[in-house]
Structure 1
Amino acid sequence: MILLSILAMTTVVFLSRYLFLEPKLPLKLNPTFQRILSYSSPAVLTAIWAPIVFVHDDKLALSFHNPYLIAAVLAAAVAWKTKNVIATTVLSMGCFFALNAIL
């Protein structure tokens, strides 16, 4: 039963990707739907990082003792100013590890 479930999920994922990525298929999305889909990646990423940054021990953690929050604020500022992914990643991770060692 588990193997059948895995194969079914694999088939669904493959077909959903194949329909949109195969250039020979006549399936084209209209501009409105493409614009709507452009918001899905930021929405999913926000759903992943927001609980990590803002919630600890099932409580809202908005303090200077939260290294996740401080590193996230730094990452947002560096990304906004430099628009450089590597600089943002290195600086925010360095800040996070330093704060984690200190706090």
Structure 2
Amino acid sequence: MSWLMIGLLALITFFNRFAFFSRLTRYQPGAEMGAFLSFSAQSVLTAIWLPIVFSYQPGTGLSWDPDYLVATLLVTALTLLRLPTLLVVVVGMGGFFLLRWQGGVAQLLPWLG
């Protein structure tokens, strides 16, 4: 079922991109649609990271992993500095990797654990 869902989402994404960027179609979105679509990247990224940082555990309620939270705060700070997106992604992933490699926030800062 999950492979079917991934395949269908890939097809939807492909055909949406094809409609906007193909020279075979003459579709040009209006100014309002362009403004609406300008928020799509942020919406998709939020939908991806929000369940990772804050996860609901049945019986215990809302829990969070401090490693994910620290990496999220790092990426948020880099984004607010208006750095290029690729640089933010690479530095964020590298920071998270180094944080996990060092044993996590609980190992580095035991009073937070």
TM-score (norm. length: structure 1)? 0.63
Please report how far the alpha carbon of residue 91 of structure 1 lies from its aligned counterpart in structure 2 after TM superposition: 4.3
Which deviates more from structure 2 when the two are superposed, residues 13-22 or residues 31-40? 13-22
Match of 1:80 in 2: 80
How much does 1:85 deviate? Answer: 4.4
For structure 2, list consecutive stretches of 5 or more residues without a partner in the other structure. 107-113
Corresponding residue to 1:60 among 56, 59, 62: 62
User: Could you list the per-position Cα deviations for residues 37-66 of structure 1 after superposition, in whole angstroms to 9, with x for gaps in the alignment?
Assistant: 22222111100111101226354335xx61
Change (3 A) 1:73 1:31: same
Identity of aligned residues (%): 30
Q: Quick one: which amino acid aligns to residue 44 of structure 1?
A: V
Count matched residues: 94
- AA of the residue aligned to 2:33: F
Structure with larger Rg: 1
Specify the code of the residue in structure 1 equivalent to 2:63. Answer: A
Residue type at the aligned position of 2:27: L
Distance 2:87 2:16 in 1: 35
2:15 and 2:94 map into 1 onto residues whose CA distance is 41
Which residue of structure 1 lines up, in the alignment, with residue 70 of structure 2? 70
CA distance in 2, matches of 1:19, 1:87: 29
Distance 1:41 1:78 in 2: 17
One-letter amino acid matched to 2:81: K
TM-score (norm 2): 0.58
Q: 1:51 to 1:99 in 2, by over 3 A?
A: same
